Amino acid sequence: MGEFTEIGSNQGIMGFMSGLFSLAAIAIFAFLQSEAENDDDDSNSGGDGGLMQPVT
């Protein structure tokens, strides 16, 4: 049915290294995914606008 996962600090250095590796992988992924040329607002949109439309 399920798997029991114990949350605690008894994993030693492997738990710490696994968490550190996961954090570094997420940070690298977030850094590489930033697209400065597409900010999804109404700047440089060619007249169509974007998500930030003025309230009329």
pLDDT digits (tens, 9 = 90+) for 1-56: 568 776 666 667 888 889 899 999 999 998 888 665 555 555 555 555 556 666 76
Sign of CA dihedral 31, 29, 3, 7: negative
Confidence at residue 33, expressed as pLDDT on a 0 to 100 scale: 80
pTM to 2 decimal places: 0.46
Confidence at residue 20, expressed as pLDDT on a 0 to 100 scale: 92
Cβ distance 54 to 45 under 8 Å?
Answer: no
Question: Nearest-CA neighbor of 42 among 54, 32, 52?
Answer: 52
> What single string gives the DSSP state of each residue in 1-56?
-------SSTTTHHHHHHHHHHHHHHHHHHHHT--TT--SSSTT-TTS--S-PPP-
Confidence at residue 25, expressed as pLDDT on a 0 to 100 scale: 96
